[in-house]
Each structure stands twice: as structure tokens, then as C-alpha cells.
Amino acid sequence: MAPVAPARKILSFIAVPLNNVTAHGGYDTAKLAIAGRWSEGCPRIDQNTLANFIESGSYDQQLRRMRRIYRQRREVLIEALARRLPKAEVTGIAAGLHATIRLPAGIDEDRLCAAMARHGVAADMMHKYRIASKGPPTLLLGYGRASESALRTGVRILAQAVADGSRAAA
């Protein structure tokens, strides 16, 4: 009987999954045909469209346009936070489509998220993702799809929820 591990390694390099090999050492051609259709990668029309998008310069234009839009949205978010929650601190790097907001100590994170949800603002607290059990209350805010007015409204709701949470804790 031939060792399985070496065969698995060899076959993985040539992109033939081991479950497509029959017990007598041949290939299950029906399985390979089906697998081939699903593993051809991106459809050719999509590849050609992307290639044309890149070659024409449109892809670069779109990236530059979206970077400006996202930068502006982040600035609106930071300005609104500075105005409504001056004790909150925006942390992390200015990249991506999210901002982490460190809130004043003593905020009940779960109560804050629930209060925001009641007003239609989805938020997630970072305590769920920490390795350490304790840390400052930190909120993860996404701004990629939100309009500038929606960001201002969301920050107003956040500030009200923080104020209400602070009064409840006192």
C-alpha cells in the first residue's frame, strides 16, 4: 500500500485534490470535470472587464475618487465627534473604512450599543474582540457607506446615548 501523505502533498501541488483519486489509483473523471468547472477562477468576461477598466485608467480614477470621498467622510466623523463628544478619542490609523473611538471611562458598553440600536444606529463595542478582559470602552464605527449627514446624525445619537448612559451609571 502506498503512503497517503506523500501522495497528498504531490497532488496538492498539481491541484488535484486527494478525494478525486480513486482507491485503485486512477482519477474520478466525473468529479474532476465538475471540480474543474468550479475552480476555473473568475469568469473570463469579468477578467476582461477588469483588464479594460485598468488599461483605460478608469480603475485608477475610481480609486482616487473613492479615497477622497472616504477621507472626507472620516473628517466629518472626527469633526462631529470633537464637537459632540470632546472626551472621546479617535484611535488607530487613518486607513480603511472604520474608526475606533475610545470613550470616557465608566460607560456601559452593552447599554450604549442597545441605546444606539433603539435609534437605528448599529454599533459594535471592541470589548468582544479583546484578548484581555478589561480595557477602555471603545466603539467601532464604520463610515464607508454612510453619507455625511448620516454620520453627523449617528454621532448626535451616540453623544445622547453616552450622556444617558452616564446619568444612569451615576
Which CATH number applies to 68-169: 2.40.50.140, 3.30.420.40, 3.30.70.100, 3.90.1150.10?
A: 3.90.1150.10
Burial class (CB in 10 A: 0-12, 13-18, 19+), 141: buried
pLDDT tens-digit map of 3-43 = 444 444 444 444 445 454 555 556 667 776 776 666 667 77
Looking at the chain, the domain(s) classified CATH 3.90.1150.10 span 68-169
What predicted TM-score, i.e. pTM, was given to this entire model?
Answer: 0.68
Q: What is the pLDDT confidence band of residue 1, given thresholds at 50, 70 and 90? A: very low
Amino acid at 114: A
pLDDT of residue 69 exceeding 80, the answer is yes
Cβ(74)–Cβ(92) below 8 Å = no
Give the separation between CA 56 and CA 64, rounded to whole angstroms. Answer: 14
Q: Give me the numbers of helices (H) and strands (E) for the chain, helices first please.
A: 6, 4
Question: pLDDT confidence of 93, banded at 50, 70, 90?
Answer: confident
What is the average per-residue pLDDT within 82-99?
90
Question: Residue 142: in which H helix or E strand, if any?
Answer: strand 138-142
**Who's near 98: CB < 8 A, 6+ residues apart?**
140, 141, 142, 143, 144
Q: What is the pLDDT of residues 104-139, one digit of tens each?
A: 888 888 888 888 989 888 888 888 888 876 788 889
